[in-house]
Amino acid sequence: MKKVVSILVIVLAFTFNSNAQDKMMNKAVKTIALEQTKGEFTEKGLTVSPGTYVFEISNNHAAEKVGLVLVKKGDDPSKPENHIKTAYVTTAVADGKTEKSNPTTLTTGEYLYFCPLNPTPQYTLTVE
């Protein structure tokens, strides 16, 4: 009886694990690659569809270190509590390097992106 229960538990565990993996595969994480040069992003605005994204930031001799701030349009970008923290790169991007953010879910609307370390203008990211 103990063997039957053990086998049943193992089969159920594999079934739930497979279903969870299938659901994760349906929510593919896409990449938004952004390059910074001195005082600006080379991508001056973007339009993407709703989904989950990783931001990949490249520092093309923009500054010693750069980063990314993403804010919902209409929120005060000078207030850190309004920043979408998952969009921050996990490590400041050193000169000549590329770093990534954590996965960030974007819903329909407009966002602003900029870098305070390499002071850039605020650019619009539209999700539609």
- Enumerate the β-bridge partners of residue 92: none
- pLDDT above 90 coverage of the chain, percent: 79
pLDDT computed for residue 10 by the predictor: 55
Residue at token pair 């879910």: 105
CA distances from 73 to 27, 83, 95 (A): 25, 11, 29
- CA 8, CA 49: separation in Å to the nearest integer? 42
pLDDT computed for residue 7 by the predictor: 52
3-12, 60-69, 111-120 — which is least confidently predicted?
3-12
Note whether 125 and 114 are within 8 A (CB). Answer: no
pLDDT computed for residue 2 by the predictor: 57
pLDDT (average), residues 93-99: 98
Q: Which band of pLDDT confidence, cut at 50, 70 and 90, is reported for residue 8?
A: very low
pLDDT computed for residue 11 by the predictor: 47
Tokens of 79: 């207030």
Using the predicted structure, report yes or no on whether residue 9 has a pLDDT greater than 50: no
Helix ranges (DSSP H) in 27-91? none
Q: Which band of pLDDT confidence, cut at 50, 70 and 90, is reported for residue 1?
A: low
Using the predicted structure, report yes or no on whether residue 55 has a pLDDT greater than 60: yes
